[in-house]
Amino acid sequence: MWKWLHPYAKTERTYHLCQKLLPWFSLLGLAVILVATVWGLAFAPMDYQQSEAYRIIYVHVPSAVLSKSLYSAMAIAAFVGLVWQVKTSFMAMMALAPVGATVTFVSLITGAAWGKPMWGTWWEWDARLTSQLILLFLFLGVISLYKAFEDKQQAGKAAGVMAIVGVINLPIIHYSVQWWNTLHQGASIMKFDKPSMPPEMLWPLLLSILGWALVSGAIFLLRMQNEILQRELKRPWVVALANKSAASSEGK
Amino acid sequence: MHFEDFSSFLDMAGYGLYVWLSFGCAAISLLVLWLDSFFSKRAMLKQVLTEQKRQARIKAAAEQSATAEKSATAQKSATAEQRTNGETI
Amino acid sequence: MAILKRDLALAYRQRAELMQPMLFFILVISLFPLAVGPEPKTLQLIGPGVIWVAAILSSLLGLERLFRDDFQDGSLEQLMLSSTSLPAAALVKVLVHWLTSILPLIILSPLLALFLHLSEPMYWALLKTLLLGTPLLSLIGAIAVGLTVGLNRGGVLLALLLLPVFIPLLIFATSAVESASMQLQYTAQLAIIGAMFLFSLALAPFAIAYALRVSQT
């Protein structure tokens, strides 16, 4: 079952796979995100309750959705790495972490910017914003634990353990914060999600989620290559690669 | 097109600040992350090249000194003096 | 069992160092009345939260020395090579840590409850949450300590790793005390804390053992 993964435990192969996928993800992601943003900003109809401010949804929701999926992806990579001792898996984990942290940060900023016109304050201790904040801290914890170790092999394992502890905690945090929130604020907050969204609003939203996923994928691929390079700077294939890329850039 | 003209598009019915702030922050954050990844990749490839050149230099220097050593053993006393002179200069 | 005895004896010899987190605990709590004013109502309102936050912070201080000495003098390595199972040994060490650096805090808590004007039902609720919740602090904390024990500058990193993870515990514990202050039932919160405790009791020893192995290489 895991046979197909094994070739990609070889770093060189993974690097070239990333190289092959990278242009597809970047171009497609940029195109989709551009279409979705323009559609959402300029063509989607106005929301009758929140007027034009609801258009923040086209960045807030994709980033919020992705932040959680990126954390899960990171934890899965950590799990695979710890159980099957796959070196590239830890690299994938560390390539995902900064992307996830950035996306979580974006969802916090956009949440605050949406909160100001809707709640009248930049920061509300709303359940979702709060758990998003904790998620950001979890990401940063994993990254700083990894950075603290000199030996990257050890660092990968340590950060992996922490990522898994975090992912077990994530549902508990989510649930506890939600419960805490209802305890302290009752039903005074305005609900964002409506029972149904007209398709003219929904389509650009789905498209923007797809675009964000593709762009995050592209950045992940790039960072994955960086992780591989960083650890194999002295290997012959890296040297050959550097020579090739230098030659091609001189040829231009 | 939902908006009548460009200024109403910018204004977003009075919510322009918040909407553009969100989109701007999102764009900047993603761009910064992407540029950081891109440039660190380039820097690393460059580092490999300089390291390679350095290794080549070290190798060349080692070969040079090895040949110098050989000739030194051939004509012992004279060149040894020369070399120490050369080193002090 | 031998480890338990040895560690307790060692801890007894380092009484002065063990006192530090306790003093820190009392100091942090006495800062709050000075900062927000001596109004009994306000103090009662923030009391449970303050005691729990202070307990978490001072347990972080004590946690650092959980594996540090054993790591530095090599007895941890010996333990790994010996025939005793590492998860069990880790569990014993956690138990010793709880007995030596957290139990004193709990014993001190009536005094602090007086400082912060907690009512009697609130105090009982606080005591129950502390008894159920603080072992969780030691267990989860030990995983992170095991990971960072090889690092020289582990202190702040430890806080950064652990504080987000402790948030659910903080929420449930303080809300239990709050319910008690309003004469409400708080068994639900206690049950959740208990469930988290049992869950981590089952899994944490293995995670700690793995973390120690990672650090030792």
In angstroms, what separates the C-alpha of B8 from chain A's closest C-alpha? 10
Taking all residues of chain B, what is their mean pLDDT, rounded to a whole number? 78
Average pLDDT rounded to a whole number, residues A28-53: 80
Q: What residues of A are in contact with residue C147 (Cβ under 8 Å)?
A: 145, 158, 161-162
In angstroms, what separates the C-alpha of A24 from chain B's closest C-alpha? 15
Q: Does this model's pTM top 0.90?
A: no
Closest in C147, C163, C164 to A145, CB measured? C147
Q: What residues of A are in contact with residue C165 (Cβ under 8 Å)?
A: 138, 165-166, 169
Q: pLDDT, tens digit, for every residue of C164-173?
A: 888 888 888 8
Q: Chain C window 28-67: which residues touch A at a Cβ cutoff of 8 Å? A: none
pLDDT of A83:
87
Domain that holds residue C149: 2-216
Among candidate residues C131, C30, C21, the one with its CA nearest the CA of residue C66 = C21
Among candidate residues C118, C124, C92, the one with its CA nearest the CA of residue C106 = C124
Q: Determine contact: C194 vs chain A, CB below 8 A.
A: no
In angstroms, rounded to a whole number, what is the distance separating the alpha carbons of residues A215 and A30? 7
Mutation target vs A (from C140, C165, C170; most A CBs, 10 A cutoff): C165
Beta-carbon separation of A158 and C215 below 8 A? yes
Q: Is B49 helix (H, G, I), strand (E, B) or coil?
A: helix
pLDDT of A102:
92
Q: Is C203 exposed, middle or buried (0-12, 13-18, 19+ CB in 10 A)?
A: middle
By C-alpha distance, the chain A residue nearest B43 is A226
In angstroms, rounded to a whole number, what is the distance separating the alpha carbons of residues C58 and C212? 23
Q: pLDDT, tens digit, for every residue of C52-99?
A: 899 888 888 888 777 877 787 777 777 777 777 888 888 888 888 888
Q: Determine contact: B20 vs chain A, CB below 8 A.
A: no
ipTM: 0.81
Q: Is C87 helix (H, G, I), strand (E, B) or coil?
A: helix
By C-alpha distance, the chain A residue nearest B34 is A219
Taking all residues of chain A, what is their mean pLDDT, rounded to a whole number? 81
Q: Is A34 exposed, middle or buried (0-12, 13-18, 19+ CB in 10 A)?
A: exposed
Tell me the Cα Rg of chain C: 18
In angstroms, rounded to a whole number, what is the distance separating the alpha carbons of residues C8 and C18? 12
Phi-psi region of C117 (alpha: psi -120 to 50; beta: other; left: phi over 0): left
* Structure tokens, A24: 């597809």
pLDDT of A57:
83
| Confidence class for position C105, pLDDT limits 50, 70, 90 | confident
DSSP secondary structure, chain A, as one string: --GGGGGGGSHHHHHHHHHHHHHHHHHHHHHHHHHHHHIIIIISPPBTTTBGGGGGHHHHHHHHHHHHHHHHHHHHHHHHHHHH--HHHHHHHHHHHHHHHHHHHHHHHHHHHHHHHHHSSS----HHHHHHHHHHHHHHHHHHHHHH-SSHHHHHHHHHHHHHHHHHHHHHHHHHHHHHHHHHHTT-SPP---S---HHHHHHHHHHHHHHHHHHHHHHHHHHHHHHHHH-TTSHHHHHHHHHHHHHHHH-
| pLDDT at A194 exceeding the cut of 60 | no
| pLDDT at B84 exceeding the cut of 70 | no
pLDDT of B83:
53
Which amino acid does the sequence have at B15?
Y
| pLDDT at A184 exceeding the cut of 90 | no
Greater model confidence, C83 or C34:
C34
Among candidate residues A105, A32, A47, the one with its CA nearest the CA of residue B2 = A47
Q: Determine contact: B30 vs chain A, CB below 8 A.
A: yes
Q: pLDDT, tens digit, for every residue of A63-109?
A: 888 998 999 999 999 999 888 888 888 888 999 999 999 999 999 88
Greater model confidence, A142 or C214:
A142
In angstroms, rounded to a whole number, what is the distance separating the alpha carbons of residues B1 and C190? 56
pLDDT of A137:
92
In angstroms, what separates the C-alpha of B44 from chain A's closest C-alpha? 7
In angstroms, what separates the C-alpha of B87 from chain A's closest C-alpha? 33
| pLDDT at B89 exceeding the cut of 50 | no
| Confidence class for position B82, pLDDT limits 50, 70, 90 | low
| Confidence class for position B22, pLDDT limits 50, 70, 90 | confident
**For A153-167, B11-25, B48-62, which range has the lowest pLDDT when averaged over its residues?**
B11-25
* Structure tokens, A38: 């323009």
Q: How many CB pairs under 8 A join A and C?
A: 71
DSSP B3: S
Phi, psi dihedrals of residue A120, rounded to the nearest 5°: 80, 10
Give how many domains chain C has, as a whole number.
1
Beta-carbon separation of B48 and A113 below 8 A? no
| pLDDT at C182 exceeding the cut of 50 | yes
Average pLDDT rounded to a whole number, residues B75-89: 53
| Confidence class for position A61, pLDDT limits 50, 70, 90 | confident
